[in-house]
Amino acid sequence: MENLAVQQWIDNVIKPEQIERYLNHGKDFIDEPFIQETLLQTRNPDKNRVREIMAKSLELERLNPDETATLLNCTDEDLWQEMYATGLKIKHKVYGRRIVFFAPLYVSNNCVNSCVYCGYRKENKESVRHRLSPAELEEEIKALVSKGHKRLIMVYGEHPDSDVHYIADTLRIAYNTKVGNGEIRRVNVNAAPMSIEDLKILRDVGIGTFQVFQETYHHATYKKMHPRGLKANMGWRLYASHRAMEAGVDDVGIGALFGLADWKFEVMGLLAHTIDLEQKFGGVGPHTISFPRMQPAVNTPFAEKSPNLVDNDTFKKLVTVIRLSVPYTGMILTARESAEVRNDVINVGCSQIDADSNIGVGAYSKDKVEVNTQQFVLGDQRSLDEAIRDMARMGYITSFCTADYRCGRTGGCFMGIAKKGKIHNLCQPNAILTFKEYLLDYASEETRQAASYLIDKEFEALPNDNIKQTVKSCWSVLKPGNGICFCKKTAGLTQNK
Ligand code: SF4
């Protein structure tokens, strides 16, 4: 595309009135002096105070800023151990012992922005650019479906080549591509902030969660990291989720890129974002929170020398505080992290992970890692089968279920059930069935063996005989490749419980 056409597109993306309408007395929701002061006032917290706050989280109540700051300021390692255990208890109370698996699919990496930490920044001449054609996208989807995936997050650079119409077309392709009895049942999108009008287009083609990470909530750092391009407008990004919810996209995902600014500030920023969404949208905040940690990228030295890089121990702590602060929200731990870190941090309350991820554009169908088309370098290279086996050995059941969305349990409906700690009653039967489906159709013998005891255990733990009976009747007809959609079979029954 000619430079002039690109510039004309850029000039029309941001709609200032779609930022201003959400401001509080002309200011955005990141009140930096308040955050800094709260962090200062809650230093050296008393043990009993920390335990009181943990008890509140266990009741599945969202924490206030001073409570979150108190946890962030804890320096007692024994108390941290208690917080880790509390994070896991909360996760089990809300979501049960299931972990939702998904795959990231990078669709295009042309980008008009200049983010200092990103391998896709437009000035990076060592990054090889590509946008998938419809045929290439279909090959990517087929490769993922053939491994057993049912749920994607499709990722796009910010560029007129991948505008809303291109994204909508790619969603249609993803939903319509079948391989045998396999299919993609939920497509989430990670893309640039859009207008309400554009988001309505994505709503109408069945977008799952619309995910936009703020990167950093710290104004001065944001400015430094995003010197040019559309992304230089921090307000447009801060209210991307607000616009999505106003457009009727029920589920939004927020996140911060840890490593850019002070980690405690970023956790407070995520909380402020959650609170503002809840206040403006009838108590409904983000469906998921992500906490990617900055990773090395091709020809991107900043990613390895930022003064705010987060070590493994701190990473575990910040994930724990997010779980305690927003107990009912989904939390995504990605393959940016090594298998070792993920196997540890999952135990403080994460609910979703990806596996077998290949983040080069067009890389799944070629089945090779192409570093020059990647945004950053991945830490966990396990196959889906291996990751599922590891989770099973740790006692986690893998879920490929997407019945919530197909039964309309999104947005406020999902949150209402999750906040009462009842969502796992709906999800557990479907998790068992979709796991069994995966084991029959895709798993290695070793994984089948590792998982079989878990299926029996989770079956016994189902809430009542009625549900057990239905699950049994579904799996009695299971055969490899017979194409039954178990979510559809059980959704009616579980939805009414
Ligand atoms: S972080 Fe996103 S917007 Fe920034 S350069 Fe990378 S792809 Fe583009």
Q: Is 155 helix (H, G, I), strand (E, B) or coil?
A: strand
Q: Which helix (H) or strand (E) holds 353?
A: strand 352-354
With cut-offs at 50, 70 and 90, classify the pLDDT of residue 492. very low
Sign of CA dihedral 344, 350, 355, 361: negative
Interior CA angle at 302 toward 6 and 14, to 5°?
Answer: 30
What's the average model confidence in pLDDT over 329-343? 95
Q: Pocket of ligand 1, candidates 113, 216, 290, 295: which has the most ligand atoms within 8 Å of its Cβ, to mutate?
A: 113
Q: Which tens digits make up the pLDDT trace of 426-459?
A: 677 888 888 988 998 899 999 999 998 999 898 8
pLDDT for res 406: 55
| Pairing status of strand 288-290 against strand 252-255 | parallel
Closest CA to 149 of 459, 492, 437: 437
Distance of CA 266 to the CA centre of its chain: 17
Q: Which tens digits make up the pLDDT trace of 44-60?
A: 999 999 999 999 999 99
C-alpha pair distances (Å), 139 with each of 105, 132, 133, 187: 12, 10, 10, 16
- What letter would DSSP give residue 372? G
CA gap 217, 273 in Å, rounded = 9
CA gap 68, 322 in Å, rounded = 8
Query: Which pair of structure tokens corresponds to residue 399?
Result: 């879920």
Tell me, in angstroms, the distance from the centre of ligand 1 to residue 118's CA. 6
Q: Pocket of ligand 1, candidates 108, 117, 121: which has the most ligand atoms within 8 Å of its Cβ, to mutate?
A: 121
Q: Identify the residue whose C-alpha is closest to ligand 1 atom 4.
A: 115
Tell me, in angstroms, the distance from the centre of ligand 1 to residue 419's CA. 34
pLDDT for res 496: 26
Tell me, in angstroms, the distance from the centre of ligand 1 to residue 116's CA. 9
Q: Which tens digits make up the pLDDT trace of 454-477?
A: 998 988 888 788 878 877 777 666
Tell me, in angstroms, the distance from the centre of ligand 1 to residue 121's CA. 6
8 A C-beta contact, residue 127 and residue 299: yes
Q: Is the pLDDT of residue 486 over 50?
A: no
What's the average model confidence in pLDDT over 8-12? 93
Ligand 1 atom with minimal separation from the 231 CA: 3
Dihedrals phi, psi of 290, to nearest 5 degrees: -115, 155
Query: Which spans in 281-410 are helix H?
Result: 302-305, 312-325, 339-345, 363-366, 384-393, 403-406
Q: Is the pLDDT of residue 482 over 70?
A: no
Q: Identify the residue whose C-alpha is closest to ligand 1 atom 3.
A: 113
Q: Is 214 helix (H, G, I), strand (E, B) or coil?
A: coil
Q: Identify the residue whose C-alpha is closest to ligand 1 atom 2.
A: 157
Rounded to the nearest integer, the mean pLDDT of the chain is 90
Tell me, in angstroms, the distance from the centre of ligand 1 to residue 350's CA. 26
C-alpha pair distances (Å), 34 with each of 37, 41, 64, 66, 273: 5, 10, 13, 10, 14
User: Whats the size of the chain, residue-wise?
Assistant: 497
pLDDT for res 78: 97
Q: Identify the residue whose C-alpha is closest to ligand 1 atom 5.
A: 121
Ligand 1 atom with minimal separation from the 114 CA: 5
Tell me, in angstroms, the distance from the centre of ligand 1 to residue 114's CA. 7
2-28+89-382, superfamily in CATH? Aldolase class I (3.20.20.70)
Residue 282, by phi and psi: left (phi above 0), alpha (psi -120 to 50) or beta? left
Ligand 1 atom with minimal separation from the 121 CA: 5
Tell me, in angstroms, the distance from the centre of ligand 1 to residue 300's CA. 12
Q: Which residues of 453-467 are buried (b: 16+ CB within 10 A; e: fewer)?
A: ebbeebbeebeeeeb
Task: Identify the residue with better confidence: 2 or 40.
Answer: 40
CA gap 168, 101 in Å, rounded = 23
Q: Which tens digits make up the pLDDT trace of 78-123?
A: 999 999 999 999 999 998 889 999 999 999 999 999 999 998 999 9
Tell me, in angstroms, the distance from the centre of ligand 1 to residue 229's CA. 10
8 A C-beta contact, residue 181 and residue 229: no
Q: Pocket of ligand 1, candidates 158, 224, 230, 361: which has the most ligand atoms within 8 Å of its Cβ, to mutate?
A: 158
Tell me, in angstroms, the distance from the centre of ligand 1 to residue 293's CA. 15
CA gap 491, 407 in Å, rounded = 7
Sign of CA dihedral 54, 57, 59, 61: positive
Query: Which pair of structure tokens corresponds to residue 26?
Result: 């002309």
Q: Pocket of ligand 1, candidates 213, 231, 374: which has the most ligand atoms within 8 Å of its Cβ, to mutate?
A: 231
Q: Which of 2-6, 8-12, 181-185, 370-374 has the highest mean pLDDT?
A: 8-12
Q: Is 117 helix (H, G, I), strand (E, B) or coil?
A: coil
C-alpha pair distances (Å), 196 with each of 82, 152, 371: 43, 23, 35
CA gap 30, 8 in Å, rounded = 31
With cut-offs at 50, 70 and 90, classify the pLDDT of residue 495. very low
C-alpha pair distances (Å), 167 with each of 193, 199, 235, 380, 485: 13, 11, 23, 28, 27
Instruction: Enumerate residues 6+ apart whose C-beta is below 8 A from 341.
Output: 312, 315, 379
What's the average model confidence in pLDDT over 376-398? 91
pLDDT above 90 as % of the chain: 71
CA gap 443, 42 in Å, rounded = 49
CA gap 117, 225 in Å, rounded = 7
Q: How many CA atoms lie within 13 A of 260 on its CB side?
A: 28
Ligand 1 atom with minimal separation from the 111 CA: 8
Q: Which residues pair with 134 in a beta bridge?
A: none
Query: Which pair of structure tokens corresponds to residue 110?
Result: 């042309």
Angle between helices 312-325 and 65-72 (to 10 degrees): 160
Q: Is the pLDDT of residue 371 over 80?
A: no
Query: Which pair of structure tokens corresponds to residue 73?
Result: 């300021």
pLDDT for res 493: 37
Q: Which tens digits make up the pLDDT trace of 136-161?
A: 999 999 999 999 999 999 999 999 99
Query: Which pair of structure tokens corresponds to residue 38?
Result: 């709260």
pTM of the model: 0.92
CA gap 250, 409 in Å, rounded = 10
Ligand 1 atom with minimal separation from the 112 CA: 8
Tell me, in angstroms, the distance from the centre of ligand 1 to residue 108's CA. 11
What are the pocket residues of ligand 1 if the criterion is a CB atom closer than 6 Å to any ligand atom? 111, 113, 115, 118, 120-121, 157-158, 231
C-alpha pair distances (Å), 141 with each of 148, 314, 456: 11, 36, 32
Query: Which pair of structure tokens corresponds to residue 308?
Result: 């705010």
Q: Is 427 helix (H, G, I), strand (E, B) or coil?
A: helix
pLDDT for res 483: 45
With cut-offs at 50, 70 and 90, classify the pLDDT of residue 417. low
Ligand 1 atom with minimal separation from the 119 CA: 6
Tell me, in angstroms, the distance from the centre of ligand 1 to residue 367's CA. 24
Tell me, in angstroms, the distance from the centre of ligand 1 to residue 176's CA. 28
Interior CA angle at 433 toward 203 and 459, to 5°?
Answer: 130
Q: Pocket of ligand 1, candidates 107, 116, 120, 216: which has the most ligand atoms within 8 Å of its Cβ, to mutate?
A: 120
Query: Which spans in 14-133 are helix H?
Result: 17-20, 32-41, 47-58, 65-72, 77-95
What are the boundaries of each domain within the chain? 2-28+89-382, 422-490
